[in-house]
Structure 1
């Protein structure tokens, strides 16, 4: 399976099933080439803020992908002609690629239009298994004791925000990693905007001092996992 870190919180898993997570691409300042030719089978959408909803509609319509999202956000997608599978926090479902469970995220979810703010329900994180690997994508969240419950899942890869202000910062993400105890931690949601300036190098170094593995992926990096 290949993993492409697009930048910010956008990830693409290119395996037997192609999964795109929070596809903030065309307006993402990290993306040098917005002509990513993504044809995912599924799009995991953690919440409705523009830097996560991103290009979901365009990509889903082009590819026929199914959006997996919390109920209100999934219904919003359906209203715009997108195929979606609604779920909610704590819910687990078996798909053709494996299983997925929605986890708690301490954040918000909504879109700002010219005339109003559209509320789109609760945000979430994603815990899933595919091709005998387990992944945890925290989404935009603060540190929560709920993360301790994830340790029993023996997660292979955890994706944690480190930018602060809207989410965990480096110190809180380190604590989250201690709670979760995954095999590998990959930092996300940093340096896209001035308000979330952070140091992924510092995070990776501190993680290793705690006896865990971490990989700093620069936007656009592709690795085998």
Structure 2
């Protein structure tokens, strides 16, 4: 199962059969490692309605025929009216997917769209479990994820709008994943962070960490 970081909160998960894209903020992102006009996807998962997460989802879905997966309210308010295919769920729910499944996990953050909730996703894909936290503050509910046997946790560290490095480290101790990958940092001046220092702190706490620069990938 290949995991590729495209920048900000955008990852491409590829199990060899399905391509799963998350929060594709590429156009207008100077650090993006891909052109939205060339990215392929079968499914696009969007955590909430802020522009740096909805990004190019609509355009990519129109070009590729991909299905946008998101909360009911986000589909009804944004993607349904745009005329793209959607598959919906809501917090606590799990949807069966051709690649496995995706569980909607709570996030504490603004939604960017009236009446919507923000979320993260727990993907079961390629025999692995990947937690994409979306934009979130630290929350005690993350302790529930310790029972999920998370193979890789994709956690925001930018601070200001989400958890910062210190709270993200506290999240790691609750989640207890096999691997930690930081995201949602450096894209804008307010969220510039030293990802290498964060990764070193994660390693010192007894967990594995990997900093992926935009365009880098790894195999789980």
> Mapping of 1:150-169 within 5 angstroms?
150-169=145-164
Deviation at 1:2, TM superposition (A): 2.1
Deviation digits for residues 34-54 of structure 1 (CA, Å, limit 9, x no counterpart):
256222111010001000000
Q: Find the aligned partners of 2:74 and 2:196 in 1 and give their Cα distance.
A: 34
Deviation digits for residues 2-47 of structure 1 (CA, Å, limit 9, x no counterpart):
2221111111112221000000001111026525622211101000
> Mapping of 1:53-64 within 5 angstroms?
53-64=54-65
Deviation at 1:71, TM superposition (A): 1.0
Q: State the partner residue of 1:91.
A: 93
Q: State the partner residue of 2:70.
A: 69
Given that residues 74 and 86 in structure 1 are in contact (C-alpha distance below 8 angstroms), is that contact kept between their aligned partners in structure 2?
yes
* Superposition misfits of 4+ residues, deviation over 3 angstroms: none
Gaps of 5+ in 2: none
Tell me, what secondary structure is at the counterpart of 2:103?
A: strand
TM-score when normalising by structure 1: 0.93
Tell me, what secondary structure is at the counterpart of 1:220?
A: coil
> Are residues 178 and 57 of structure 1, via their aligned partners in 2, closer, same or farther at CA, if it must alter by over 3 Å?
same
Instruction: Report the RMSD for the aligned CA atoms in angstroms.
Output: 1.3
Tell me, what secondary structure is at the counterpart of 2:121?
A: strand
Deviation at 1:224, TM superposition (A): 2.2
Greater mean alpha carbon deviation, residues 52-61 or residues 74-83: 74-83
Given that residues 47 and 53 in structure 1 are in contact (C-alpha distance below 8 angstroms), is that contact kept between their aligned partners in structure 2?
yes
> Mapping of 1:96-175 within 5 angstroms?
96-110=98-112, 118-119=113-114, 121-175=116-170
Given that residues 48 and 120 in structure 1 are in contact (C-alpha distance below 8 angstroms), is that contact kept between their aligned partners in structure 2?
no
Q: Find the aligned partners of 1:78 and 1:35 in 2 and give their Cα distance.
A: 20
Deviation digits for residues 174-219 of structure 1 (CA, Å, limit 9, x no counterpart):
0000000000000000011111111101110000001100000111
Gaps of 5+ in 1: 111-117
